[in-house]
Amino acid sequence: MGKHASQTTGRTGQCLICGRTFAVSKLHKAGTLRPHLFEMIAEEVKTCSADSLICDEDLARFRRRYVEALLEEERGEITELDARVLDSFEKGTLTVQAGAPAAIDQAETFGERVADRVAAFGGSWTFILSFLAVLVLWMALNVVGLSTDPFDPYPFILLNLVLSSLAALQAPVIMMSQRRQEDKDRLRSENDYMVNLRAELEIRQLHEKIDHQMAKQWERLAELQQIQIELLEKR
């Protein structure tokens, strides 16, 4: 890690960490950072002071390390999802996997589409009522309509065979559809987790910034009050 003296020239300045020159708008004074973050930077860069300038890129890297240390302290380890959130936090990009469930739909095969439609139809009232009508019609034909020469007399062995075959085929098809739905739900859950973690980190960062600013304001007010007291005493 470089140790360059921060310099300001007009509207540009030099980053203490990397030594590169940036516009002043892309530089931050170390003294305005949160105390814990400032301590982390000062521990690594011994020449760091309150007036030192740090660029956005280096500041984002130190912020990531600071947040990573907090997560490790709270949770004991950093998961893959946590690492992805930290990457997005450092780069300032979106956390969620945009369109991930839709990508699964686009990559589905013909068999998977058929499985989804079969599962959707098999779990509807249309299927239940239609199947019930077929059963009633089947039994009525063999008991009443074709009583002299039924094709499946009581106890309807052929009907039992048809029902068993239908159940044997329908079960794995429904399981295929459920597995794909589980993949979609898992992606949605991962997205929700990453969004919530990112929001938690952002809110925590805002709280720390507000606390830091309030502390600075109180220090400033105390200094002004002390100056006023000294002026009054001189009179």
Are 17 and 6 contacting, i.e. CB atoms less than 8 angstroms apart?
Answer: no
- Same domain membership, residue 169 and residue 107: yes
Is 232 inside any structural domain? no
- The DSSP code for 144 is I
Which range of residues forms the domain containing residue 114? 100-186
Concatenating the DSSP letter of every residue in 87-137 gives HHHHHT---S-TTHHHHHHHT--HHHHHHHHHHHHHTSHHHHHHHHHHHHH
Helix, strand, coil percent values for the chain (each to nearest 5): 70, 5, 25
- Same domain membership, residue 174 and residue 108: yes
Is 218 inside any structural domain? no
Domain total for the chain?
2
* CA 162/CA 168 separation, integer angstroms: 10
Is 86 inside any structural domain? no
Is 159 inside any structural domain? yes
* CA 169/CA 190 separation, integer angstroms: 32
- Same domain membership, residue 105 and residue 54: no
The model's pLDDT over 153-197, given as tens digits with 9 standing for 90+, comes to: 888 889 999 999 988 988 888 888 888 888 888 888 888 888 888
The model's pLDDT over 58-92, given as tens digits with 9 standing for 90+, comes to: 888 888 888 777 777 777 777 777 777 777 766 76
Is 69 inside any structural domain? no
- Same domain membership, residue 117 and residue 40: no
Is 223 inside any structural domain? no
The model's pLDDT over 30-67, given as tens digits with 9 standing for 90+, comes to: 877 777 778 888 888 888 888 888 888 888 888 888 87
Is 93 inside any structural domain? no
